[in-house]
Amino acid sequence: MKNLKYVLGLFLFLTFGIQSHVKAQTPQKNDPKETSQKFAAALFYIENFYVDSTNSPKLVETAIVDILKELDPHSAYLSKEEIDAANEPLEGSFEGIGVTFQLSKDTILIISPVPGGPSEKLGIQSGDKIILINGEEAFGNKINNKFVMDRLRGKKGTTVDVSIYRTGKKDLIEYSILRDKIPINSIDATFMLSKNTGYIKLNRFSKTSMEEFQVSMTKLKAEGMENLVLDLRGNSGGYLNTAVELSDEFLDAGKMIVYTEGLNSPRQEFHASQKGVFEKGKLIVMINEASASASEIVSGAVQDWDRGVVLGRRSFGKGLVQRPFQLPDGSVIRLTSARYYTPTGRSIQRPYEEGVEKYYKDLYERHQRGEFVHADSIHFPDSLKYLTPGKRVVFGGGGIMPDVFVPWDSTQFSDYYSNLIRKGVFNNFTLEYTNANRNKLKKTYPTVQSFKRDFIIDDIIINNFIEQAKKDSVEWNEAQFKQSEKTIQYQIKALIARNLWDIEAYYEIVLEMDDALIRAMEIIDKEDIFSYLRTD
- List per-residue pLDDT tens for the chain, 536 residues long: 444 444 444 444 444 444 434 344 444 566 777 888 898 899 899 989 999 998 988 898 999 989 998 899 999 999 887 887 777 777 777 889 998 888 877 889 887 788 778 998 898 987 789 999 999 999 988 888 889 989 999 999 999 999 999 877 889 999 999 999 888 889 999 999 999 999 999 999 999 999 999 999 999 999 999 999 999 999 999 999 999 999 999 999 999 999 999 999 999 999 999 789 999 999 999 999 999 999 999 999 999 999 999 999 999 999 999 999 999 888 999 999 999 999 999 999 999 888 878 888 888 888 888 888 887 777 777 778 899 998 888 988 889 999 999 998 888 889 999 999 888 899 889 988 998 899 899 999 999 999 999 999 999 999 999 999 999 999 999 999 999 999 999 999 999 999 898 889 999 999 999 999 999 999 998 888 887 665 44
Contact 68, 77 (CB under 8 A): yes
pTM of the model: 0.84
Of 318, 347, 403, 502, catalytic: 318
How many domains, the chain? 4
- Of the candidates 383, 280, 297, 374, the one whose C-alpha atom is nearest the C-alpha of residue 343 is 297
Residue 63 neighbours by CB distance under 10 Å: 18
329 catalytic residue (yes or no)? no
Count of helix runs (H) and strand runs (E) in the chain: 19, 21
Whether residue 148 is found in the same domain as residue 205:
no
Q: Are 317 and 450 in the same domain?
A: no
Domain that holds residue 249: 187-408
Residues 204 and 170 in one domain: no
- Given 183, 212, 244, the domain boundary residue is 183
Distances (CA, A) of 227 to 59, 91, 279, 283, 527: 56, 30, 11, 6, 13
Instruction: Name which of 449, 532, 536 is nearest 226 in CA terms.
Output: 536
Q: How far is CA 251 from CA 199, 243, 246, 528, 536, in A?
A: 19, 13, 9, 21, 12
Is-catalytic flag, 293? yes
455, part of any domain: yes
Name the active-site residue from 304, 306, 403, 514: 304
Let me know whether 125 and 45 are in one domain: no
Active site residue 282: no
Q: Do 241 and 253 fall into the same domain?
A: yes
Spot the catalytic one: 206, 291, 293, 337.
293
The answer to the question of residue 79 being in a domain is no
